A and B are shown apart, each in its own frame.
Chain A
């Protein structure tokens, strides 16, 4: 089936309604000297709201987004009917390029994967090329979302796999972090070997060995662990809310632009590593959530379905069995969970394990696209540990 091109075109009425609501924004006060401790600082929010109302030009950014090759396609999901799925698809000039499915997480969006597209599809004798598909997860961006309960990781994985097959990529590889990790892991479990041939993630975790002695860690690593602990203790309220009462949260987030702004901006800052967000970048990111096909609530439900009834913590990210296909790990210093590299071998059949990069957090495809693309090139390029995993798609011109 031919691809149906998609252009974002937010109705003017919705833009006008947004401005009406922004004009009514009522801000709370803030405790003196609270900084980021209690949540997003008031000064940041004031500045962003002011820009959103005056100066930020959605149509300009919409046009820029529309330079990305976007499409939609109906994908049937067992037990859930057919969902209209939004995605970016960029083929490389290299015919034998490696098909790659990129899957974002929360609060990620398709935009997150857009920067690695030109890098991965570029042709060169020195590194492999990829055909890149950036999926908007159901309920995110301009993908339709589930209509009934029970749309869990297996269903998201089904969507990803079926999309690749529909595009003629019978065999492919995947890259993902955050929920993208859970989804691509499930793809590896369900379709690994037959369709998914290798998987790569930038969200690395692991358990300490039984004889672990904290004093043997370098001070850097101890600091990283302390930071991880702090984030887990103080930064997971959003997760508890979204995984238990996403609908209750939805009313506030759908109705209040400033509410949504604060909700997501907190993570865009907390989870990135010295990334200098411009206000317009932030506003574009949040506008995509605000204007998304299902509204913000579409993006919360994955938490409820996948985490609301865990029998073990983080079950969706680590339940047995670990996939068998080759796994690549990229370590970024500013991610939420930073553990010593040796701990993460339990994630799967690790064939590629990057050095810890200089910089980068939870969204490295967006923050450090060259670094992430570089790792994928190393993993899949000539001499790399996953070279040739996709038969006849070696990634080079013949």
Chain B
């Protein structure tokens, strides 16, 4: 009881060893727990962070919104040409007047315990990384790294956080770390060229280590999927013990002269004969996305600076740019205006500005790594895959199995690209199945099974 009081009311940092001595924290935990003894790393004190956008910034935003110049729209265009004018005008009007950022910010701060920490990235230097960190009450919870993508942010963790960290004898519990990728949210952005998948992976991995999580599991979609895949390749086995993604992408069959590629490619084509209806529809959707939904992708991966000027300068420009994806990539999710504007305000008020968030596309494209290739290095650690029907690009299961050691896969009938936000119970349900007792990845992190040690 006393421990709980100390933990929650007097100084939460005590349990995290904030006196610079991990064993100080251990004294206050249950003597039977060996969680801290199994994490041999030193952990620097956490620096709490509260999102606190200034009144000046808010006033500036409203001033710009007031001066918004709108385009017209073709008759009956609806969504065919892009975000509809009526939606954007309504959102701008609300953003300028009654939308209460301070209130939304306060709720975010309350729901998401945030911190910042300096992470040293090889050949880059130090970046201050903003992250959410919520520990389960259960010491033996599984450390999980959750990585967002674009146009996502740390906000994508808000609904899964209470579910993942909940403790219950029947489901595994998790300690959750959800960083803002460099260049997003309140994380510093790199200033040099070449900050690509390796660097993003290194940043996230080092964050986990610095928090005392030498071994952990990961979850990610969009860039989070590609980054956690890189983590699985670079740090898999020793540190990353299993990875789960809701972004089932890989390259299409390639017909090069390499005989191994040829064999793989032909068998991928043969796989197409055995697609389920779900997979057929998903493939159609992926092709359609490729046809009419990748303008932003081609632009951001070649000229991020050019479009960056507009997005950094124009709130309505940024709003439309992201809103189109929030609606187009979700499965009938009933966004409220508050949700949309909170989501986009995070971009508008981000530390590095919206232009910085685009550069990952350029850097990864420059290395030809926008889509994981079935011919590349395959992470060996257990992989989980969740298929959501309205994901923008879902490729056949048999193809994805070639990209990793798939031990878990699931299929849902609701949900899209932002699964953690749209259908948190589904996504968490999958993670609980994958990592729970009897699950294919149960116990991957020694001593942190997600259940009390009996």
In the complex, chain B residues whose CB is within 8 Å of the CB of A252? 307, 310-311, 314, 316-318, 320-321
Most-contacted residue by chain B among A27, A30, A247 (CB, 10 A): A247
Cβ of B356 and Cβ of A29 under 8 Å apart? yes
Task: Indicate whether B304 reaches chain A with its CB closer than 8 angstroms.
Answer: yes
Q: Output the nearest chain A residue to B66 by Cβ-Cβ distance.
A: A20
Cβ of A304 and Cβ of B81 under 8 Å apart? yes
Could you jot down 12 A-B contacts, CB within 8 Å?
Answer: A29-B355, A32-B191, A237-B299, A240-B299, A244-B293, A245-B82, A247-B77, A249-B82, A250-B82, A251-B88, A252-B310, A261-B309
Cβ of A39 and Cβ of B193 under 8 Å apart? no
Task: Indicate whether B76 reaches chain A with its CB closer than 8 angstroms.
Answer: yes
CB distance from B404 to the nearest CB of A (A): 29
Q: Output the nearest chain B residue to A304 by Cβ-Cβ distance.
A: B81
Within 8 A of B (CB), among A241-277: 241-256, 258-263, 266
Question: A29-B352, A255-B314 known; A244 and B305 CB under 8 Å?
Answer: no
Task: Indicate whether A59 reaches chain B with its CB closer than 8 angstroms.
Answer: no
Within 8 A of B (CB), among A30-48: 30-34, 37-42, 45
A28 to B82, CA, bound (A): 25
In the complex, chain A residues whose CB is within 8 Å of the CB of B85? 247
Most-contacted residue by chain B among A233, A236, A250, A251 (CB, 10 A): A251
Cβ of A248 and Cβ of B324 under 8 Å apart? yes
> Which of B67-75, B208-216, B254-262 makes up part of the contact surface?
B67-75
CB distance from A240 to the nearest CB of B (A): 4
In the complex, chain B residues whose CB is within 8 Å of the CB of A194? none
Task: Indicate whether B296 reaches chain A with its CB closer than 8 angstroms.
Answer: yes
* Cross-chain contact of B193 among A31, A148, A149, A259 (Cβ < 8 A): A31
Task: Indicate whether B90 reaches chain A with its CB closer than 8 angstroms.
Answer: no
In the complex, chain A residues whose CB is within 8 Å of the CB of B300? 237
Task: Indicate whether B114 reaches chain A with its CB closer than 8 angstroms.
Answer: no
If A29-B356, A301-B74 are given as contacts, then 14 extra A-B residue pairs at C-beta distance below 8 Å, sorted by A number, are A21-B67, A29-B191, A38-B362, A45-B309, A148-B76, A149-B80, A237-B299, A245-B82, A245-B295, A247-B81, A248-B82, A251-B70, A251-B83, A252-B320
Task: Indicate whether A235 reaches chain B with its CB closer than 8 angstroms.
Answer: yes
A175 to B232, CA, bound (A): 58
Task: Indicate whether A342 reaches chain B with its CB closer than 8 angstroms.
Answer: no
8 closest A-B pairs by beta carbon, nearest first, are A259-B310, A252-B317, A39-B305, A247-B82, A248-B82, A237-B299, A39-B306, A28-B355
Encoded as 1 (CB less than 8 Å from any B CB) or 0, chain A from 136 to 171 comes to 000000000011110000000000000000000000
A244 to B317, CA, bound (A): 17
In the complex, chain A residues whose CB is within 8 Å of the CB of B129? none
A237 to B299, CA, bound (A): 4
Cβ of B71 and Cβ of A296 under 8 Å apart? yes
Cβ of B299 and Cβ of A241 under 8 Å apart? yes
Task: Indicate whether A60 reaches chain B with its CB closer than 8 angstroms.
Answer: no
Task: Indicate whether B308 reaches chain A with its CB closer than 8 angstroms.
Answer: yes
Cβ of A256 and Cβ of B314 under 8 Å apart? yes
Task: Indicate whether A238 reaches chain B with its CB closer than 8 angstroms.
Answer: yes
Cβ of A240 and Cβ of B294 under 8 Å apart? yes
Cβ of B320 and Cβ of A236 under 8 Å apart? no
Question: A29-B356, A247-B81 known; A241 and B317 CB under 8 Å?
Answer: no
CB distance from A143 to the nearest CB of B (A): 14
Q: Output the nearest chain B residue to A45 by Cβ-Cβ distance.
A: B309
Cβ of A256 and Cβ of B83 under 8 Å apart? no
Task: Indicate whether A26 reaches chain B with its CB closer than 8 angstroms.
Answer: yes
Q: Output the nearest chain A residue to B85 by Cβ-Cβ distance.
A: A247
Most-contacted residue by chain A among B68, B81, B298 (CB, 10 A): B81
Cβ of A24 and Cβ of B299 under 8 Å apart? no
CB distance from B27 to the nearest CB of A (A): 46
Task: Indicate whether A294 reaches chain B with its CB closer than 8 angstroms.
Answer: yes
Within 8 A of B (CB), among A161-214: none
Encoded as 1 (CB less than 8 Å from any A CB) or 0, chain B from 318 to 340 comes to 11110010000000000000000
CB distance from B214 to the nearest CB of A (A): 33
A232 to B69, CA, bound (A): 32
Cβ of B304 and Cβ of A297 under 8 Å apart? no
Question: A237-B295, A262-B310 known; A38 and B83 CB under 8 Å?
Answer: no
A253 to B298, CA, bound (A): 18
Q: Output the nearest chain B residue to A22 by Cβ-Cβ distance.
A: B313
* Cross-chain contact of B302 among A27, A234, A304 (Cβ < 8 A): A234
Most-contacted residue by chain A among B300, B301, B302 (CB, 10 A): B302
Cβ of B296 and Cβ of A241 under 8 Å apart? yes
Task: Indicate whether B64 reaches chain A with its CB closer than 8 angstroms.
Answer: yes
A250 to B352, CA, bound (A): 24
CB distance from B98 to the nearest CB of A (A): 21
Cβ of B69 and Cβ of A17 under 8 Å apart? yes
Cβ of A26 and Cβ of B313 under 8 Å apart? yes
Q: Output the nearest chain A residue to B83 by Cβ-Cβ distance.
A: A248
Cβ of A30 and Cβ of B305 under 8 Å apart? yes
CB distance from A318 to the nearest CB of B (A): 20
